[in-house]
Structure 1
Amino acid sequence: MLFFEDIEIGEVTRLGSHTFDAEEMIAFARAFDPQPFHLDAAAGAATHFGGLAASGWYTAAIAARLRAQAQTRLHETLRRQGKRVPRVGPSPGFKDLKWLRPVLAGDTLTFQSEIVAKKPSANRPEWGLVFTRESATDTQGRPTFEVTNCMFVERLEA
């Protein structure tokens, strides 16, 4: 993430791809979303999913991890260039979370983030709020996941 003033609405960042491994999906489901179609391939095959389906929360967690890794890479690049690195605060929330297609074991999704809006914080002048739409597509280019996220980003003008 750049400083608030340097962020442009419409900017798209490719976050990376992830292949959903059955063992990782099951481990996540055991800990956080223990529904049969997330835990057992036969149970998943008996549903409209047609196979072991990743928890939507696992897909959201992968998106969050890839976003954080992309941010770290950008900040490392800025440091190498001798530039100041902005502080990025926590997310005050998200909206419009959508699981558009089931994610099955072996599926590979490609994630991206688009800046959709930004505004100065009303209560904290040193921060701005940046809104991003994280999304994922499968290998056929079909939309699979989407969420609008919000995060605090340091302002230069404060």
Structure 2
Amino acid sequence: MLFFEDIEIGTRTRLGSHRFSEAEIIAFARAWDPQAFHLDAAAGARTHFGGLVASGWHGVAIAARLRAQAWERAHEGLRRAGKPVPRIGPSPGFKELKWLRPVRPGDTLAFLSEVSAKKLSATRPEWGLVFTRETATDPGGELALEFTNCVFVERLEG
């Protein structure tokens, strides 16, 4: 992540990919979303999903992890180049979350973040708000997950 002024709308960052295993899907569901179709293939088979599927929140959590890792890689590159590293503030939230297709054991999703908008903070002049469209697609390019994220990013001119 760059300083607010250096971030360009339309910039796309490939965050990485993740393969969802059956064991991981069940472990996440046990801890965070214990619905039958996330916990047991036979129970999932009796639903409209027709089998075990990952919790949508599992996909969101993977997106958050990959995003944080991408920011850390970018910041490490800035440090190696002797450049200042911007502070990244908290996220005031997200919107337009859509789970577009079920994620099944063995599925690999590619996660992408695209800067869609930015604006100055109305109350904190040292910060700007950066909005990104976050997506996860399967190998065929079909969207499985999308949402709009927002994060505070330090300004150079604040």
TM-score w.r.t. the length of structure 2 is: 0.98
Q: After superposition, where does 1:136-155 map in structure 2 within 5 Å?
A: 136-155=136-155
Provide the residue aligned with 1:88 in structure 2. Answer: 88
Provide the residue aligned with 1:74 in structure 2. Answer: 74
- State the 1:50 CA deviation: 2.3
**Helix, strand or coil: the match of 1:103?**
coil
Structure 1 spans left out of the alignment, 5+ residues? none
**Helix, strand or coil: the match of 2:17?**
strand
Deviations 1:19-72 (A, max 9, x none): 001111111101111000000011112222222100000010000000000000
**Helix, strand or coil: the match of 1:42?**
helix
Provide the residue aligned with 2:28 in structure 1. Answer: 28
Provide the residue aligned with 1:98 in structure 2. Answer: 98
Quick one: percent identity of the two aligned structures? 75
Deviations 1:90-143 (A, max 9, x none): 100000000000000110000000000000000000000000011010011101
Q: After superposition, where does 1:5-16 map in structure 2 within 5 Å?
A: 5-16=5-16
Aligned residues of 1:22 and 1:105 also touching (Cα < 8 A): yes
Partner amino acid, structure 2, of 1:67: R
TM-score w.r.t. the length of structure 1 is: 0.98
**Helix, strand or coil: the match of 1:90?**
coil
**Helix, strand or coil: the match of 1:64?**
helix
For the residues of structure 2 that align with 1:100 and 1:30, how far apart are their CA atoms? 22
Structure 2 spans left out of the alignment, 5+ residues? none
Provide the residue aligned with 1:63 in structure 2. Answer: 63
Aligned residues of 1:51 and 1:105 also touching (Cα < 8 A): no
User: RMSD value over aligned CA atoms?
Assistant: 0.7
For the residues of structure 1 that align with 2:53 and 2:100, how far apart are their CA atoms? 13
Partner amino acid, structure 1, of 2:16: G
For the residues of structure 1 that align with 2:63 and 2:120, how far apart are their CA atoms? 25
